[in-house]
A and B are shown apart, each in its own frame.
Chain A
Amino acid sequence: MLVLIDKLPLSDWVNSFVNWLTQFTGFFNGITNFIGGIVNGFQWLFDLLPVWLFIVIVLGITYYATRHGKKWSLLLFELIGLLLIWNLDYWRDMTQTLTLVLTSSLIALVIGIPLGILMAKNHTFEAIMKPILDFMQTMPAFVYLIPAVAFFGIGMVPGVISSVIFAMPPTVRMTNLGIRQVPVELIEAADSYGSTSWQKLFKVQLPLAKSTLMAGVNQSMMLSLSMVVIASMIGALGLGTQVYFAVGRNNAGNGFTAGLSIVILAIILDRITQAFNRSKRG
């Protein structure tokens, strides 16, 4: 059937849709300013902190998160890893990357958790959302850069936006899953004592879904970190930029050191969020 007709002008349709959307400049500027504000706030804070204090704070958070099963090896790793990043002169790039990751994770959380809750409560909404989430996750991440630039220009903000789109699905999915996994009998117990929907959600469903939900948050964070290099192509600053430059200049050494810094940051973020999840369960 498709052989008989001409090539569908699908890309033209998308283009004219994107063009049509760009007329809402005010709306997109508003978003840009809002997200830019968050980014600048984080960056201001990280620039303010001296390196030693930053390291102490990271170690302190880790110490608190792992209080139910100390891991001295992790603290040691963090100390050495962060000192190495500082030594390699990637400190500011690292804080920029952290800003991008924290901002996009935060937004993914704020949007993703309510969406997950809605999905758990409404079968129709779940049926609609599932293919959309699949689409968001499997569409090559590069593609998001194009409209992101069209709407939000270049810099950190479009980087954050494309990271959010790419990184949000695990949070949504795991929130949905976590709530649906709450045993039927506990839901019946909550209902039989006359709980309202909100009471049931906040007193029973969310507390019991917490560890699954946190696993989703952890995954979202890791995915947004994986967007760092891609987002550098549209001017999001950070370690990704260093990798991108190294590729352009065919400099394997710089590529390795910048890449290693990303790995160190990823491990630190992953272990801390996982430790929080564990400590809350126990």
Chain B
Amino acid sequence: MVKKVEVKNLTKIYGKRGPRVKELIEQGKSKAEILEETGATVGVNQANFEVNEGEIFVIMGLSGSGKSTLIRMINRLIEPTRGTILIDNQDLMGLDKKGLREVRRQKMSMIFQNFALFPNRTILENTAYGLEIKGITKAVREQKAHEALELVGLHGYDDQFPSQLSGGMQQRVGLARGLANDAEILLMDEAFSALDPLNRKDMQDELLDLQAKMHKTIIFISHDLNEALRIGDRIMIMKDGVVVQTGTPEDILTHPADDYVKRFIEDVDRTRVLTVANVMIRPNTVNIDKDGPRLALRRMQENEISSVYVVDSERKFVGFADAKDVIKLIQQGSRDLKSVVQTDVPITHPDVAVNDLMDQLSSTPIPFAVLDDERQLVGIIVRGAVLGAIAGNEVTQ
């Protein structure tokens, strides 16, 4: 694999930066300790990593972890205090203003959290910005910008202004602006964080589709581990300016480097676990205290199922009646529904994890009755609904 970006000992110190700060950093003191002793804030503390050509490298951490500073040091929007940045083995720190500008024009495009589209320019002009400042002729740059917009799925918005577009569409323009430039490296700073969850997932898919075609080298900043796991080929986790762990999503899930990473992962697992309450559906019931067999049969017909759940006036669970038995009861001319209620029904609780129920669920033909602490019937579990929920990942809270 070819190394596209190589970062060594990259450090950013805000505020005072006497020799003492350097000493403390080298001693491996933490951000809080250095702030306490010197008053200087360590943005990024000796970060080391490599990004291979064609991979999506996700840098992840909470706010204040230094990830935004780090990505801005890669194109020197923020001047590093110390360290080396190699792009295609070219040292970025050794470049003068002009050389740096050339690298920014040819090699790297940045995509921003709040889109950073120019409000005074049309969508097409925004997309063509990178090409325009490179001095490419109008016809060529508009052609390329138009192609980039098509690529991200924006048709017919060329002459509109950013304020006329929704957030998701604006970020597509941001992405198109990056792609139109033909840069090999995309720096994406929390690019999807400002979007709503549905749009975010769309854009993640879109990015993966584009990546499959274009094989860019992408450095992606995120504070969302789910996002990192979804799109990242490799993930680097940061905390307080220090790199905590770098690895594939699998590595990170299976061998978290420390408690900090472990806590992150637990967060993810919790959301992935479905409880009974997430997948149960509303049952049709009859009230044993007042309803007779004819009504019970009617309920079953209404719902096209061959059984009905029986509760009492307080919705406390009584049992379950089968169509065959109810019909027999009607033929006998009896109104006593109680005589045919079966009570040996599988029962569970709303908080039980679906995973724990899977074995039993596949062996019992009768749906599970879900009872809360008062033994009231709050739902039933049908096998189809559970499988659907697991496949679709859509969880009702």
A interface list, Cβ under 8 A from B: 183, 185-186, 188-196, 199, 203-204, 207-208
| Contacting pair A192 B104 (CB below 8 A) | yes
Min CB distance B131 to A, Å, is 9
Known A192-B108, A193-B133; judge A186-B118 contact (CB<8 A). yes
Instruction: Note all chain A residues with C-beta closer than 8 A to B101.
Output: 194-196
Given the complex, which residues of A lie within 8 Å of B187, measured CB to CB? 192
B77 near A203 with CB under 8 A, answer: no
B120 touches A199 (CB 8 A): no
- Cβ 8 A contact of A199, one of B72, B77, B102, B133: B133
Cα separation A208 to B181 with both chains bound (whole Å): 23
Binary CB contact string for chain B from 93 to 132 against chain A (1 if under 8 A, 0 otherwise): 0000000011111001110111011111000000001101
A62 vs B75: C-alpha distance when bound (angstroms):
48
Q: Are A208 and B77 in contact (CB under 8 A)?
A: no
* Given A188-B116, A194-B103, 10 other A-B residues pairs in contact with their CB atoms under 8 A: A185-B114, A185-B116, A188-B110, A189-B112, A193-B104, A193-B130, A193-B133, A193-B181, A194-B130, A203-B118
Whole-angstrom distance between the alpha carbons of A190 and B75 in the complex?
12
The yes or no answer to B134 lying at the interface (CB within 8 A) is: yes
Instruction: Please tell me if the beta carbons of A192 and B75 are within 8 angstroms of each other in the complex.
Output: yes
- Determine whether the beta carbon of A207 is less than 8 Å from that of B120: yes
Q: Are B120 and A194 in contact (CB-based, < 8 A)?
A: no
Q: Residue A194 contacts which of B105, B114, B118, B177 (CB distance < 8 angstroms)?
A: B105
A189 CA / B127 CA spacing, docked (Å): 12
Q: Is the CB of A189 within 8 A of B110?
A: yes
Nearest Cβ in chain A — how far from B115, in angstroms? Answer: 8
B-side contacts of A204, CB under 8 Å? 118
Q: Which residue of A lies closest to B106 (CB)?
A: A194
Pairs A–B under 8 Å by Cβ, sample size 29: A183-B116, A186-B116, A186-B118, A188-B72, A188-B77, A188-B112, A189-B117, A189-B129, A190-B129, A191-B104, A192-B77, A192-B109, A193-B105, A193-B109, A193-B110, A193-B130, A193-B177, A193-B181, A194-B101, A194-B102, A194-B130, A194-B133, A194-B134, A195-B101, A196-B133, A203-B132, A207-B120, A208-B119, A208-B120
A188-B116, A194-B104, A194-B105 given; A203·B133 CB < 8 A:
yes
A191 touches B133 (CB 8 A): no
Q: CB-CB < 8 A to A188: which residues of B?
A: 72, 77, 110, 112, 116
- A197: nearest residue on chain B (CB-CB)? B97
Residues of B within 8 A of A191 (CB): 77, 104
Contacts of B108 in A (CB 8 A): 192
4 smallest A-B Cβ distances: which pairs?
A194-B105, A194-B104, A192-B110, A189-B116
Task: Name the contact of A195 in the complex, choosing from B113, B116, B133 (C-beta under 8 A).
Answer: B133
Tell me which residues across on chain A come within 8 A of B133, comparing CB atoms. Answer: 193-196, 199, 203
- How far is B113's CA from A188's CA once the two chains are assembled, in angstroms? 12
Chain B residue contacts of A190, Cβ below 8 A = 129
Contacts of B102 in A (CB 8 A): 194
Residue of A nearest to B114 (CB): A185
Which residue of chain B is the closest to A280 with respect to CB atoms? B120
A200 and chain B: residue at smallest CB distance:
B133
Bound-state CA distance A208–B134 (Å) is: 21
Question: What are the residues of chain B within 8 A of A183 when measuring CB–CB?
Answer: 116
Considering the chains assembled together, what is the distance between the CA atoms of A197 and B116 in angstroms?
A: 18
Residues of chain B from 132 to 154 with CB closer than 8 A to chain A in the complex: 132-134
* B residues in contact with A195, CB < 8 Å: 101, 133
Cβ distance A206 to chain B, nearest Cβ, rounded Å: 10
**Whole-angstrom CA separation of A174 from B177 in the bound complex:** 31
Kindly state the separation between the CA atoms of A190 and B119 in the bound complex, as whole angstroms: 13
With most chain A CB atoms within 10 A of its CB, the pick from B72, B77, B102 is: B77
Q: Mark B233-245, 1 if CB is under 8 A from A, else 0.
A: 0000000000000
